[in-house]
Structure 1
Amino acid sequence: MNISFWLNGVNCHEEVEPDTLLIDLLRKKGCLSVKRGCETANCGLCTVLMDDRAVLSCSTLAARIEGKKIVTLEGMQREAKEFGSFIANEGAEQCGFCNPGFIMNVFAMLKEIKEPTEEQIKEYLAGNLCRCSGFVSQTSAILKFLKYKKAQEEA
């Protein structure tokens, strides 16, 4: 089956099998930030944005992205670098394996909730598995990033 979609701002056309998973298509197209973790839709490592909403690419058929806008971390380098500095400053990166999916979820959350509370942040990110940190430093990084962005908007 032939599908058309936008990947990180580029219009793409691909021939896929009906059972092709989105994660496999994205990795084939060079989006290596999209990682395989649990393959059971439980860890969040494969998170991408589909029309600005977080989806787990390990449990999404590629056929579902027809006409959609897909964004991976490769398509958000400037934003990821800005937010990544907050993660690093809080010591939240540890091994870094979960960071791409985590960052994608944070940006999806910020598109949905303009000023999330700490409780909303924890709830929104509950589907991200991080074995290194326990999320205290990630939550702190998000809160400091939000404060920084708010100060930028007010300036």
Structure 2
Amino acid sequence: MINIKVNDKDYSVDVSPDMPILWVLRDVLGLTGTKFGCGLGVCGSCTVLLDGKAIRSCITPVSLVKDQNVISIEGVAGEHSTIQKAWEELNVPQCGFCQPGQVVSALALLKENPDPSDKDIDTAMSGNICRCGTYVRIRKAIHLAASMKNELHNTKGV
């Protein structure tokens, strides 16, 4: 049994220690929002957060996530909902397949850099491939989410 934390909930899973966290999420825990794309960690569709850092779940063994919190797309809510609101407002998704990884990567970026430049966004998101080419809308949505977060921070305590 391997003890892991996913979306702030504790789980014990009976899997091989070298099973990629992607398959633990999808096949064992039933959290199918995280997508399988290339299986090599280069397309970004399987991106999840591991203690706030974007990782590729298709190449990360479950044994490496002990004592850390994995956030999948299902866990992106609450304070992070500004990203989802920005995505919806700008109608970012087209086919939608890559979007869970895009949203999670954007969240990691905004946690590290709450006011990113275009270059910062392009660099942070470069590992996430969108077959539909919605990169311009993704960049705009990240800027919008950043401004929404900044608005929230500026109005607290007023």
With structure 1 as the length reference, what TM-score do the two structures score?
0.91
Paired with 1:145 and 1:75, the residues of 2 have a C-alpha distance of: 17
Which residue of structure 2 lines up, in the alignment, with residue 109 of structure 1? Answer: 109
* CA-based RMSD: 1.5
Paired with 2:134 and 2:76, the residues of 1 have a C-alpha distance of: 25
Which residue of structure 2 lines up, in the alignment, with residue 64 of structure 1? Answer: 64
Paired with 2:114 and 2:122, the residues of 1 have a C-alpha distance of: 15
Does the 8 Å CA contact 1:105/1:125 hold for their aligned counterparts?
yes
Which residue of structure 2 lines up, in the alignment, with residue 15 of structure 1? Answer: 14
Which residue of structure 1 lines up, in the alignment, with residue 133 of structure 2? Answer: 133
2:72 is aligned with 1:77: no
Q: CA deviation at 1:90?
A: 2.1
2:42 is aligned with 1:42: yes
Number of corresponding residues:
154
Q: CA deviation at 1:79?
A: 4.8
For 2:13, the aligned partner's letter is E
For 1:83, the aligned partner's letter is I
Paired with 2:107 and 2:134, the residues of 1 have a C-alpha distance of: 20
Residue 45 of structure 2 aligns to a residue whose secondary structure is coil
Does the 8 Å CA contact 1:92/1:133 hold for their aligned counterparts?
no
Task: Select between 18-27 and 77-86 the one with higher mean Cα deviation.
Answer: 77-86
Describe the superposition over 1:32-80 as per-residue Cα deviations: whole angstroms up to 9, x where unpaired. Answer: 1111011111111101111111110000011111111111111123356
